[in-house]
Structure 1
Amino acid sequence: MATSPSSSAQQARQVLGSRLDEIRKHAGLSGPALAALCGWHKSKVSRIANAVTPPSEADIRAWAAHCGAEDQIPDLIASLRTVEGMWVEWRRQTHGGLRAIQAAFVSLYEKTRHMRTYSCWLLPGPVQIRPYAESIMRTVQLRDGLIDDVEAATDARLERQRYLYEGNHTYAFLIEESVLRCTVVDNDTMAAQLGHLLTIGGLPNVSLGIIPMSTNRTHWPCESFGIFDDQLVNVELVSTEVTIRQPREIALYDQRFKILSSQAKRGPDARKLITKALDALA
């Protein structure tokens, strides 16, 4: 199971083990007693609770059933799947280049009806113009010493954008004003990108919110993330990409999006902030 300097799958496994142990204690069962009911070796309950041995779905079903917690089985299994698949090392993921990563998201964008994206570093992928996207991926390719498939990767990223204009898809983009001021590309490209953002903000299926730098923050910025319907959250960190499918954690990101969204400017006020960033480039 992959680990990273910023976050650890082992820690996530420990959280799941602790939760299972709380269920056992609430049922009034000792570890050996639960193991006997499940037909396991007497030490297995302790190994799972202390994150020494990862449980299987069958283990979780048996554990919860014998503790009278059948109603928690779906959420526990979702937690297990999150532990198993949430941490993907960036290096391992990009081993074959950047195109495969970008292409892998096309089908997800196609089946997602409502996407919400919060961005604190870069403009979100669905609104990026080709020069902006290509420049960002070129930086990653050179920084990490990857094979040069930047042009193909850019094509794959732009392929997702067609769902802005076709099908029954809606988008909510929430962007920190500092992202508009962060010239990670040359000024001409950034100016064209901000102009494109103004156009995207006028689409009928798009909600665009800009959080001003001057806002008296009730909640500080967090990592950039995307919520795909209510099924999946994708979070990109420095060294890993996190995929979250656990309902309770998806709900936390949904809550954070709503809180941050309440601090955003929209409509003419959002356009003014984008226009000010454009004027600053000049």
Structure 2
Amino acid sequence: MSTDFRSARVALGARLRELRAEVGVNGKDFADRIGWQRSKVSRLENGKQTATEADVDAWAAGAGVPGQAADLRSRLKGLESQQRSWRRQLAAGHRPVQYRYVVEYQRTATMRGYEASVIPGLFQTPGYARHLIEANTALMRSLRDTEAAVAARMHRQEVLYEPGKLFRVLLWEAALHVVVCPREVMAAQLDRLVGLIGMSTAELGIVPLGAPLPLTPRHGFWIFDEERVIVETVNTELSYDSAHDLALYGRAWDGLNTAAV
């Protein structure tokens, strides 16, 4: 069993435990309520057993919140994909990961994104992308395939010229000042952002430093067609598709958008 799968299953178990706790009954009484063995309740809550759809439906009903069944089924469906470690994804280098994003972007019609410290790959110049990929290769100690990865990242940008698509991207102003490459490369990168003005498929908003904000900038995230959210951390890529998480990240994007120019 992969570490990613195990972590996601533990997270689902924690959510099940929360719902039981909200009812105010212990594990034994909850098991009696839904006609299970006490050991099954314990295994599910502690991520020792993989639940079925019937299990989470019964759990939601037993907790008196049948409306939570859809969210629990969504979490169950996402066990395999919810967390994907970068170490495992980059085992064959950066190029395969970049081409996976090419496919994901091609099948996306509308995207809302936010980045706090980096220009997103969709808008990167080859020079800027090259320095980022080299730095990440050194950090992750992964296979070095920089030029192939840069080419794949540039290929991803072809979606910007496809009619019917819309990419609404917010950047915290700090991302324009983080110098992760030589200054002349950064200057070209900033010029690239200016070139986005007027494109029908791209909207770029800058959240100014010092602007009053309804929430702290925190981490970057991407909402694909209001169906899935992708969050990247240093070691993991997280994917969420529950109604609760989509609404939460949607509100976060809306809040940042109110401060953007």
TM norm structure 2: 0.88
Query: Which residue does 2:15 correspond to in 1?
Result: 16
1:24 and 1:110 map into 2 onto residues whose CA distance is: 44
User: Unaligned stretches of 5+ in structure 1?
Assistant: 266-282
Q: Deviations over 1:24-66 (max 9, x none)?
A: 769xx93332452xxx434212332344433122322343456
Q: Does 1:248 align with 2:249?
A: no
Q: Does 1:130 align with 2:126?
A: yes
How far off its partner does 1:214 sit?
Answer: 2.2
CA contact (8 A) 1:61 1:70 kept: yes
SS at match of 2:248: helix
2:48 and 2:19 map into 1 onto residues whose CA distance is: 13
1:68 and 1:217 map into 2 onto residues whose CA distance is: 37
Query: Which residue does 2:3 correspond to in 1?
Result: 2
Q: Deviations over 1:120-171 (max 9, x none)?
A: 1110111011111111101111232221211111121111111111131001
SS at match of 1:75: helix
Query: Which residue does 1:151 correspond to in 2?
Result: 147
SS at match of 1:195: helix
Percent same amino acid among aligned pairs? Answer: 33
Against the structure 1 CA distance between its residues 118 and 146, is the aligned structure 2 distance closer, same or farther, given a 3 Å change threshold?
same
Matches within 5 A, 1:228-239: 228-239=224-235
Against the structure 1 CA distance between its residues 24 and 201, is the aligned structure 2 distance closer, same or farther, given a 3 Å change threshold?
same
CA contact (8 A) 2:16 2:59 kept: no
Query: Which residue does 2:190 correspond to in 1?
Result: 194
Amino acid at match of 1:236: E
CA contact (8 A) 1:35 1:44 kept: no
User: Unaligned stretches of 5+ in structure 2?
Assistant: none
CA contact (8 A) 2:213 2:256 kept: no
1:19 and 1:57 map into 2 onto residues whose CA distance is: 18
1:18 and 1:129 map into 2 onto residues whose CA distance is: 47
Q: Does 1:185 align with 2:181?
A: yes
CA contact (8 A) 2:163 2:201 kept: no
Query: Which residue does 1:120 correspond to in 2?
Result: 116
Amino acid at match of 2:177: R
How far off its partner does 1:70 sit?
Answer: 4.5
How far off its partner does 1:68 sit?
Answer: 6.5
Matches within 5 A, 1:14-53: 14-21=13-20, 30-36=29-35, 40-53=36-49
Against the structure 1 CA distance between its residues 18 and 246, is the aligned structure 2 distance closer, same or farther, given a 3 Å change threshold?
same
CA contact (8 A) 1:89 1:239 kept: yes
Q: Deviations over 1:95-136 (max 9, x none)?
A: 111111111111211111111110111101110111111111
Query: Which residue does 1:106 correspond to in 2?
Result: 102
How far off its partner does 1:215 sit?
Answer: 1.3
How far off its partner does 1:93 sit?
Answer: 1.4
How far off its partner does 1:173 sit?
Answer: 1.1
2:10 and 2:189 map into 1 onto residues whose CA distance is: 39
Amino acid at match of 2:3: A
CA contact (8 A) 2:20 2:63 kept: no
Query: Which residue does 1:85 correspond to in 2?
Result: 81
